[in-house]
Amino acid sequence: MKTQKVWFITGASRGFGFDIAKTALNSGDKVVATVRKNPEQLAATLNNNSNLLVVVLDVTKESQVKAGVQHAIARFGKIDILVNNAGYGLLGATEEITDAEVKKQYDTNVFGLLNVTRAVLPYMRNAQAGHIINISSLFGYGALAPGFGIYGSTKFAVEGISEGLALEVKPLGIHVTAVAPGLFSTQFASSDSYNASEIVLDAYQDTVGKMRVTIGHLDGNQPGDPAKLAQVIIQLAESENPPLHLPVGKDAVASFRSKTERMEKEVAEWEEIASSTDHLKA
């Protein structure tokens, strides 16, 4: 018989967060779904399921995060699975993006993830069990298109945090997985799901400029089905030995393999020089 789990999912109003929440509820689990506004709307969309608790919180507000986690514990008694999904995209050349835009991006995509993780971990530690699933990105493994360097850097951070955290919490019975989706039809490419730099420089018209046009035609044409990704996340949560890194989508798998092969080739070509830096033994 399947054990009923309790999920805590950030950024659940739409996209991956919504689909994961819906799928988890349909599987019979309990779900704490966080939104920044309109909690009644999400609850109604999910049929006011008795196993659902919708919590209003902004992941960048530590006090709200702590209160939301405490509310979840008061209602369901535990948190088995944390899905750090809240985040947004940022399009612009590195030179175009201001410090303020970078800081805002990191506040949500990185520091927000850390706020939620720190708030949930004490309960997982006490239970000596749990699974933290951090939603990264294809861009967290490689720079695949001009204009997403800063966004990608936040996802590189998510990958690195996940690796370090996994080493720390494995002895405590807690798993960590960084999930890197490829291109999915989640409205990520819609203008209200990403920010674009206010500064636009002519020098980047042939690179980032073209991407500003391309992304407008991408929404709804991505190959990935978010409902199928949600099913993968459910299977991941049920695994006794989940992976640390999981690319999802044919494009993500291909990109992971391509970069791995390229890095192997570079290391092989430079191995003799790169390995020549140790102290000489007497």
Q: What is the pLDDT of residues 34-69, one digit of tens each?
A: 999 999 999 999 999 999 999 999 999 999 999 999
Cβ burial 249-264 (10 Å sphere, 16+ → b, else e): bebbeebbeeeeeeee
Rg (CA), the chain: 20
- Output the pLDDT for position 128: 98
- Average model confidence (pLDDT) across the chain: 93
Q: In the chain, what are the domains?
A: 6-252 (3.40.50.720)
Alpha-carbon gap, residue 237 to 23, rounded angstroms: 12
155 is catalytic: yes
| pLDDT greater than 60 at residue 192 | no
- Output the pLDDT for position 102: 98
Residue 253 in contact with residue 224, Cβ under 8 Å?
no
- Active-site annotation holder among 155, 162, 204, 255: 155
- Output the pLDDT for position 188: 52
- Output the pLDDT for position 220: 63
| pLDDT greater than 50 at residue 123 | yes
- Active-site annotation holder among 13, 22, 30, 136: 136
Alpha-carbon gap, residue 225 to 10, rounded angstroms: 20
- Output the pLDDT for position 194: 78
Residue 92 in contact with residue 199, Cβ under 8 Å?
yes
| pLDDT greater than 90 at residue 106 | yes
Q: Phi first, then psi: what are they for 252, rounded to 5°?
A: -70, -45
| pLDDT greater than 50 at residue 13 | yes
Query: Does pTM top 0.75 for this prediction?
Result: yes
pLDDT tens digits for 88-98?
999 999 999 99
**Longest CA span, the chain:** 74
Section 106-130 average pLDDT: 99
- Output the pLDDT for position 189: 46
3-class DSSP assignment, residue 239: coil
Structural element, H or E, at residue 91: strand 89-91
**Closest to 31 (Cα-Cα) out of 1, 65, 75:** 75
- Output the pLDDT for position 16: 94
Section 152-161 average pLDDT: 97
Integer CA distances (angstroms), 248 to 143, 232, 271, in order: 17, 8, 31
| pLDDT greater than 50 at residue 117 | yes
Q: In angstroms, how far is the first alpha carbon of the chain from the final one?
A: 64
151 is catalytic: yes
Alpha-carbon gap, residue 150 to 106, rounded angstroms: 9
pLDDT tens digits for 223-250?
678 999 999 999 999 999 999 999 999 9
- Active-site annotation holder among 13, 151, 153, 204: 151
193 is catalytic: no
